[in-house]
Amino acid sequence: MASSIISPPSATFIVKKKELGRSAFSSSSSPSPFSVPKCNKSAAKKIVSAMAPQQAERMPATTGSVRTAMTLTEKIFARASEKPQLSPGDNVWVNVDTLMTHDISGPGSIGIFKREFGPDAKVWDREKVVIIPDHYIFTADKLANRNVDILRDFCNDQNIKYFYDIKDLGNFKANPDYKGVCHVALAQEGHCRPGEVLLGTDSHTCTAGAFGQFATGIGNTDAGFVLGTGKLLLKVPPTLKFIMDGEMPDYLLAKDLILQIIGEISVAGATYKSMEFAGTTVESLTMEERMTLCNMVIEAGGKNGVVPADSTTFKYLEDKTTIPYEPVYSDAQARFLTEYRFDITKLEPLVAKPHSPDNRALARECKDVKIDRVYIGSCTGGKTEDFMAVAKVFLASGKKVKVPTFLVPATRKVCNAGLIVETSLYM
């Protein structure tokens, strides 16, 4: 894979004010040049290239103030921090649109909130806090149940609007209002909206970037602070752009795309960087497939992943939220740390072998590997379309399953899609 030294030009240009939704812009100095390390990963078939962004002449718009072009993530940071201009490396106080926590990190976050703001303090906005128990559920373990009890007591005391209580009714039956795995439930329940900032106490919160928003995982201390203030100090990440073009073969899924990327850049290749996905292939993906793409940016060390919102996004959200939102998009001359280009028509089905997501291999190279047990589910692979893909493979093979196989739909809505008849392992 080729690598480049990128030297951002110092020239600025004029854009329309409405691009960021602010009344005025100020000029900003250019960041220092930086180098892109060459990736040592290799693939059976090279289909990727890294290149420096084109430095075409910048033409001024007819109105507006002089500023430097920004990426999608930089624009979200600018809007959320009420700044006219930001660059990678800037530290800003960001206004949070949604905070999500669950039964692993929630009790700790609540404890920090009460310690720092007082036992009787109220959260900054009861309608912007989403709490979803989804890890310590359907168990007789007293300590696990205690975690959910802490969440329930807190939500009752704070009058939290969006608490999706498990409330085990016995015989593995859940409260009818329960949703399921937090990252899939957030999307299905309309908590993901373009242009917003969504933080969650889970590393895979980056899944929500599929909706054209900034979404990332945070720790208990940060979450406790957000509960009390609705703000968090964050550093603006530089952006890597991944352009994927070509008609998606029916034997590929978004999981193959992200495994290809991680195999190229390694599990540390996007450390504290934004990963923006674009190209005709990405535009053709469904929302669930885009969620898979963004879900695994953390496996490359990414701060966040993002897919620009489009008609597919808007259609998905039509019956899920009434809250107005304003998408933002990368400027044509935005500075990307590196651009990677993929011809998806040349990609084959992939797997990640033990013990790392970047240990990429072609699926056909593993045809002789003995399988002892199969698990299909989680925030990455438990969505409706994931099970449709599984059913397609099962039916096409004409064979019976011979090894223990566990199907764990991510949410109740996946169960109710009519794809899974026997769900006793889950509900």
Indicate the range of 10-14, 163-167, 245-249 predicted with least confidence: 10-14
Highest mean pLDDT among 49-53, 90-94, 399-403: 90-94
Cβ neighbours, 10 Å, residue 326: 13
Is residue 59 very low, low, confident or very high in pLDDT (cuts 50, 70, 90)? very low
Cβ neighbours, 10 Å, residue 373: 8
pLDDT digit string (tens) for 82-127?
A: 999 999 999 999 999 999 999 999 999 999 999 999 999 999 999 9
Say what the pLDDT of residue 168 is: 73
Whether residue 242 has pLDDT greater than 70: yes
Whether residue 55 has pLDDT greater than 50: no
pLDDT digit string (tens) for 307-355?
A: 999 999 999 999 999 999 999 999 999 999 999 999 999 999 999 999 9
What is the percent of the chain where pLDDT is above 70?
82
Say what the pLDDT of residue 375 is: 94
pLDDT digit string (tens) for 352-393?
A: 999 999 999 999 999 999 999 999 999 999 999 999 998 888
DSSP 58: P
SS3 of residue 95 by DSSP: strand
Whether residue 29 has pLDDT greater than 80: no
pLDDT digit string (tens) for 204-241?
A: 999 999 999 999 999 999 999 999 999 999 999 999 99
Listed residue (302, 282, 284) closest to 214, CA to CA: 302
Whether residue 77 has pLDDT greater than 90: yes
Whether residue 154 has pLDDT greater than 90: yes
Say what the pLDDT of residue 419 is: 54
Q: What is the DSSP string of 229-282?
A: HSEEEEEPPPEEEEEEESPPPTT--HHHHHHHHHHHH-TTTTTT-EEEEESHHH
Listed residue (66, 91, 50) closest to 336, CA to CA: 50
Cβ atoms of residues 412 and 384 within 8 Å:
no
Whether residue 37 has pLDDT greater than 60: no
On average, the pLDDT of the chain sits at 86
Task: Give the separation between CA 72 and CA 74, rounded to whole angstroms.
Answer: 5
Cβ atoms of residues 176 and 166 within 8 Å:
no
Q: Average of pLDDT values for 299-304?
A: 98
Q: Which residues contact 402 (CB under 8 A, 6 or more apart)?
A: none
Enumerate domains of the chain plus CATH numbers: 43-53+69-368 (3.30.499.10), 370-427 (no CATH)
Listed residue (129, 94, 136, 96) closest to 110, CA to CA: 129
Say what the pLDDT of residue 420 is: 53
